[in-house]
Structure 1
């Protein structure tokens, strides 16, 4: 291991956890150190980052990041750049995040990667926005298990939380 990799891995492990709390998958609960609950508008994990919130969505080898305002509304990605320092299996990898569409940044994880921790650093003009995401492997597994759909298979009825089908009004059922 190169010395620079050692320093980076050490920084990931020693970075203070009190910077912000982690919230997963739209559960809307308060985490330690938080004074309010968060929603995950895109089904990811939301962290407080100063006056902003950062949402991280992991899907296979794709990492998608959204910058949210104080009311968890998605902000445009114009002028936004970013990187992710990802810890997986004791190794640290830097992932460049590039603007995609109007409101997201995306980056590709190495094939077969199962990240455990990610530190997202976004730059907007002279402003730096950082958020730390821990226990990603266990959070991703929970996200795959908890999904709901209409028993009548109505189009666009899939949801990550229980509720009613927007088409027919039937109660959504949990899928494995």
Structure 2
């Protein structure tokens, strides 16, 4: 028979929400998982840069990627189209200042057509 404490602990663990692992990146932004990629979000003023790496943190060329950053600004969503820039960076401009750590998500479409997203809290 399972002791009641173990059953209680299992119930608590199952009730906890699952969050993507978010850490600081090499460009000063926040990094989170987006499918098989990691994405780093760097927001300064109206500029949005997203850096794409693989699971080993090796840069993935941005050529062929498309993306959208959907960030919350003043309680409203701001959609920022992202286009490949240089190296592993996709870049876009918002119509309003975003602050340095906006909440939201980045949606990516890879060159092979696969879509994925990463959430930033």
Is contact 2:71–2:104 with CA below 8 Å preserved after alignment?
yes
Query: Match of 2:117?
Result: 130
Higher helix proportion: 1
- Using the size of structure 1 for normalisation, the TM-score is 0.54
Q: Secondary structure at the residue paired with 2:90?
A: strand
Give the alignment's Cα RMSD to 1 decimal. Answer: 1.7
Q: Give me the whole-angstrom Cα distance separating, in 2, the residues matched to 1:112 and 1:56.
A: 15
Find runs of 4+ consecutive structure 1 residues off by over 6 angstroms: none
- Spell out the pairing of 1:28-67 with structure 2 (5 A cutoff): 40-67=25-52
Q: Distance in 2 between matches of 1:53 and 1:73?
A: 9
Residue 9 of structure 2 is matched in structure 1 by none
TM-score, normalized by length of structure 2? 0.76
Residue of 104, 107, 120 corresponding to 1:121: 107
How many angstroms does 1:78 deviate by? 1.5
Correspondence 1:54-133 to 2 at 5 A: 54-114=39-99, 116-124=102-110, 125-133=112-120
- For structure 1, list consecutive stretches of 5 or more residues without a partner in the other structure: 1-16, 25-39, 135-176
Q: Which has the higher contact order (CA 8 A, sep 6+)?
A: 2
Figure out how many residues of one structure are paired with residues of the other and give that number: 103
**Aligned partners of 1:64, 1:128: CA distance in 2, in Å?**
18
- Contact preservation (8 Å) 2:46, 2:96: yes
Conserved? CA contact 1:19–1:131, under 8 Å: no
* Structure 2 residue runs without a partner (length 5+): 1-16
Q: Report the counterpart of residue 4 of structure 2 in structure 1.
A: none
